A and B are shown apart, each in its own frame.
Chain A
Amino acid sequence: EPEVTQTPSHQVTQMGQEVILRCVPISNHLYFYWYRQILGQKVEFLVSFYNNEISEKSEIFDDQFSVERPDGSNFTLKIRSTKLEDSAMYFCASTSTGDTDTQYFGPGTRLTVL
């Protein structure tokens, strides 16, 4: 069964550094999402992406965040200048039709900002 994949599994960075988290959604999916989960807390929506543009973003997704689909397979989340509070598990998800469709989650990237 196809799965969403993410790299790296764990990223450690210094505060103020830029990080890029990578995701490969399921190949025939058209809607892509990033969520984050701070340790022990609930999963929070960051951004949704469809047709090469952001369709919605949350309050968390400020100017330090950006997303890109640089080619036909990858979907990336960039944090320009990381803060301590960005430390979390970041999950990518994808779905084929969006509305009321199953969102499949990747294994996550654990980001640790020191």
Chain B
Amino acid sequence: GENVEQHPSTLSVQEGDSAVIKCTYSDSASNYFPWYKQELGKRPQLIIDIRSNVGEKKDQRIAVTLNKTAKHFSLHITETQPEDSAVYFCASQTQGGSEKLVFGKGMKLTVNP
């Protein structure tokens, strides 16, 4: 079945540094890739998404890149702040199938002041 691998599982950075989270997916028919941020005990919140017809998307300090040939996509956070500390999940959705999201295992980001 579809599978999304995410790494690293944890990352600790100093405030102001950049953070990169990488995901790979197995289904070449996947065409939608959202990223969710989940703070402790809270709901997953969409922070950015990318569709398969583009290779990169940016929103202020966050950006996502997609390499369809290699079947991987990455989240980049620049100038990290303590409030960026959370668990980040990548996910994929497959065109023409169910609309379900298949999630990676998540990455716990800690931004130290």
Give the B-binding residues of A (Cβ under 8 A). 31, 33, 35, 41-45, 48, 55-56, 58, 91, 95, 98-108
Residue pair A91, B100 in contact (C-beta under 8 Å): no
| Contact partners of B51 in chain A: CB under 8 A | 100
| Contact partners of A91 in chain B: CB under 8 A | 43-44
Query: With A100-B93, A103-B34 in contact, do A42 and B45 touch (Cβ < 8 Å)?
Result: no
23 residue pairs bridging A and B, Cβ less than 8 Å apart = A33-B100, A33-B101, A41-B105, A42-B89, A42-B105, A42-B106, A44-B103, A45-B100, A45-B102, A55-B98, A55-B99, A56-B97, A56-B100, A91-B43, A91-B44, A95-B99, A99-B93, A99-B95, A100-B31, A100-B51, A103-B34, A103-B101, A105-B45
Cα(A33)–Cα(B89), bound, Å: 17
